[in-house]
Amino acid sequence: MRDAAPRIALVHAVAVAVDPVLEAFAALWPQARPFNLLDDALSPDREAQPELAPALARRIVALGRYARDAGALGVLYTCSAFGPAIEAAARELDVPVLKPNEAMFGDALARGGAIAMLATFAPAVDSMAAEFAAMARERGVDARLTTHCVPEAMAALRSGDRATHDRLLAEAAPRFAGADAVMLAHFSTSRAFDAVRAAVDVPVLTAPRCAVLAMRARVGTPG
C-alpha cells in the first residue's frame, strides 16, 4: 500500500533552488512531504573545478544515502552540475532518484527537435547538453540543443535581486524565438518563468514542475 503522504528528499547545492521546488510540490503534489538537504558549499566547490572531482561526487552520493536513511521514498536533486554523481546515487539507492532536468528534457524532446536552453550557472551547461544529447539518442529523436548562459542573472539572484535576474533572462530569451521549446535550465531560473514566457511565443519549460510530476509518477499515490 502506498504512503498517503510520501516523504521526498530535495537535495540542494544552492539556497535559491529551495522555494521554486517547494512551490511546485504545493501546486502539483500537495500530499507529498518534501524535506530539504542543503550543502551550500557544493556550488562554489564545483565552480572551482574544471571537472567533477571524485571527492565532490562522493558528497552527492552521501547526501542521497542520508536522505534514504531519513525515510525518503524518493530523492530529487535540484542542482544541474552533478549529473554523473546523481547517476551513481541512482544506481546505489533502492528508491527513485531524479536528476534535476531529466523530466524537463523528456518533455522538451516530445515537443520537437529545435530546443533552446537558458542557463545561469556555466559549470552545469556542458554536462546538461551531454545529458540532453544522450536522452535524444536513446529516444531516437533528431534534436538540436542551443544554449545561452547569463551568469549575471545568477549573481543578481544570489544578491537578492530577483527583478534583475528575471529581466536579464527575459532579455536573452528572444534569441530563441524559432525554437520548439525553451527550457529554463536550473531550478533557480524557474523564477523567471513569467518574464521569459512574456518574451517569446513558444512553450517555456521549467525543471521543478516537470520533476515533481515525474517523481509523483514514480513514487505513486494512493487511490
Domains of the chain, start order: 7-100+209-219 (3.40.50.1860), 102-207 (3.40.50.1860)
pLDDT confidence of residue 80: 80
Average pLDDT over residues 181-189: 94
- Strands of 97-98's sheet, edge to edge? 33-38, 7-12, 74-77, 97-98
Lowest mean pLDDT among 7-11, 15-19, 36-40, 80-84: 80-84
What residues are paired with 12 via a beta bridge?
Answer: 38
pLDDT confidence of residue 1: 44
Question: Quick one: pLDDT band at residue 223, thresholds 50, 70, 90?
Answer: very low
Q: Which amino acid is at 79?
A: C
pLDDT confidence of residue 49: 87
The predicted-structure confidence for 91-129, as pLDDT tens digits, reads as follows 999 999 999 999 999 999 999 999 999 999 988 899 889
Question: Quick one: pLDDT band at residue 51, thresholds 50, 70, 90?
Answer: confident
**Is 119 exposed, middle or buried, given 0-12, 13-18 or 19+ CB atoms closer than 10 A?**
buried
The predicted-structure confidence for 28-48, as pLDDT tens digits, reads as follows 999 999 999 999 999 999 989
pLDDT confidence of residue 109: 96
pLDDT confidence of residue 50: 83
Lowest mean pLDDT among 47-56, 136-145, 173-182: 47-56
Average pLDDT over residues 140-165: 95
Average pLDDT over residues 136-155: 95
Average pLDDT over residues 138-162: 95
